Amino acid sequence: ERFQVFVTRNDMPQGGIDLLKKECDVKMSSHPSTMPREELLKAIAGVSGIFCSLTDRIDREVLDAAGPDLKVIGTISVGHDHIDLAECKKRGVRIGYTPDVLTDATAELTMALLLSTSRRLPEAQHEARSGGWKSWAPTWMTGPGLAGSTVGIAGFGRIGQAVARRVKAFNTKQILYFNRSERPEAQETGAIKVTFDELLTQSDFIICCAALVPETKEMFNKAAFEKMKKTAVLVNTSRGGTVDQDALIEALQNNTIRAAGLDVTTPEPLPLDNPLLKLPNCVVLPHIGSAAIETRNTMSELTANNILKALKGEPMPAEL
């Protein structure tokens, strides 16, 4: 008998869906978007596997709705703050995720956001398109350069380290990192482990690549912004929850820090009346860190392979 797997949206990259269909009965949401909760709860009754994304909250209610045949949750993401890991473990439900395959794409996007924010690309393009570009001007549209600067990285996992390797190529003076555990791999980029306070006070650019866990929740708060240089630029490509967003809005409005570049916000999507979307010193992107075409297909295939292995009771390529 073939296992039943439910896919929580109908626009997952095809690679993984094709793999699943070879071996399982695949049922799929009819929505190219996050499923309404009630519909999701009904649709997963009796399935053995769920292929989900970071926009699906996988909690006790979902696990109950799926029932005792559920063996595996496969999320097409490296982040897993949307999944109640403890509850899954308790029930013997295995969890697959997609580390490594999105590291380069996310590090690339982080560099793009860092440069867009510091060198004010969205503002500058707006000027070019709207007639604000009158002539070349020596102090117009200037922003801080990376060369010679100190860059601090909060969260020095796979993505943080990949960002460090790229940052190093921009002739920065030094790279600092804050991480709960020591990272011997830091030697490759000469990154120096510091306390969070040192990261805040010494960095010209601060990049958050830290997974959202209780210890990192709103680590960038009012007190943190006050410790940062007034000229500092903050970039966040991890999860919106690592930043106290109201405190960030205030810090940007009062020039407590210079600018922020966010690929992640609270909530997502960010409501159109949110001040972050109006501030000239803030660049907001719609959570596209891993959105390189090939990367997304590889993530889909890895998610499917995680699910297929778990259903057979075998080791998964990437299990939490």
How many residues touch ligand GLV under the rule CB under 6 A: the total is 13
Q: Does 241 bind ligand GLV (CB under 6 A)?
A: no
Q: Which helix (H) or strand (E) holds 143?
A: none
Residue 302 sits in the site that holds ligand GLV (CB under 6 A): no
Name the active-site residue from 31, 80, 126, 287.
287
Cβ(176)–Cβ(235) under 8 Å? Answer: no
If the CB atoms of residues 185 and 198 are measured against ligand GLV, the closer one turns out to be 185
**The two three-digit tokens of residue 214, written as one number:** 């209780």
Residue type for 26, please? V
Binding status of residue 157 toward ligand GLV by CB under 6 A: yes
Q: Which is nearer to ligand GLV, 103 or 245 (CB)?
A: 103
Residues in the chain: 320
The single-letter DSSP state of residue 242 is: G
Which helix (H) or strand (E) segment holds residue 252: the answer is: helix 245-253
C-beta closer to ligand GLV: residue 20 or 159: 159
Residues 196-235 that bind ligand GLV (CB under 6 A): 211
Least separation in angstroms between residue 77's CB and ligand GLV is 3
Confirm if 193 and 211 have CB atoms less than 8 A apart. no
Q: Which is nearer to ligand GLV, 99 or 122 (CB)?
A: 99
Does 290 bind ligand GLV (CB under 6 A)? Our answer is: yes
Q: Supply the minimum distance, in Å, between the C-beta of residue 245 and ligand GLV.
A: 17
Give the span between the Cα atoms of 49 and 288, in whole angstroms. 26
Binder to ligand GLV among 47, 54, 93, 316 (CB under 6 A)?
54
Smallest separation (angstroms) from ligand GLV to the CB of 149: 23
Q: Give the type of residue at 32.
A: P
Q: Looking at 120, 179, 289, 316, which residue binds ligand GLV (CB under 6 A)?
A: 289
Q: Which of 93, 95, 159, 206 binds ligand GLV (CB under 6 A)?
A: 159
| Residues 66-105: x where in contact with ligand GLV by CB under 6 A, - otherwise, as a string | -----------xxx-------------------x--xx--
Q: How far is the CB of 39 from ligand GLV (least distance, A)?
A: 24
Instruction: Name the token pair of 44.
Output: 């997963």
The pair of structure tokens assigned to 109 is: 């996007």
User: Which residue in 1, 79, 7 sits closest to 307, CA to CA?
Assistant: 7
In angstroms, give the least distance from the CB of 254 to ligand GLV.
Answer: 29
What's the angle, vertex CA 74, arms to CA 70 and CA 80, rounded to 5?
Answer: 115
Distance of closest approach, residue 53 Cβ to ligand GLV, in angstroms: 9
Of residues 48 and 238, the one with the C-beta less far from ligand GLV: 238
Dist CA 143 CA 149 (whole Å): 13
Residue 82 among the catalytic residues: no
Nearest-angstrom CA–CA distance, 142 and 130: 18
Residues 127-156 that bind ligand GLV (CB under 6 A): none
Could you tell me the end-to-end alpha-carbon distance of the chain, in angstroms, rounded to an integer?
Answer: 27
Whether 308 and 2 have beta carbons less than 8 Å apart is answered as: no
Q: Looking only at residues 245 through 274 of this chain, which bind ligand GLV when binding is defined by CB under 6 A?
A: none
Provide, rounded to whole angstroms, the least separation between the CB of residue 301 and ligand GLV: 15
* Rounded Cα gap, residues 47 and 41, in angstroms: 11
Q: Is 87 exposed, middle or buried (0-12, 13-18, 19+ CB in 10 A)?
A: middle
Q: Closer CB to ligand GLV, residue 66 or residue 163?
A: 163
Q: Which residues are catalytic?
A: 287
Binding residues for ligand GLV, rule: CB under 6 A, are 54, 77-79, 99, 102-103, 157-159, 211, 289-290
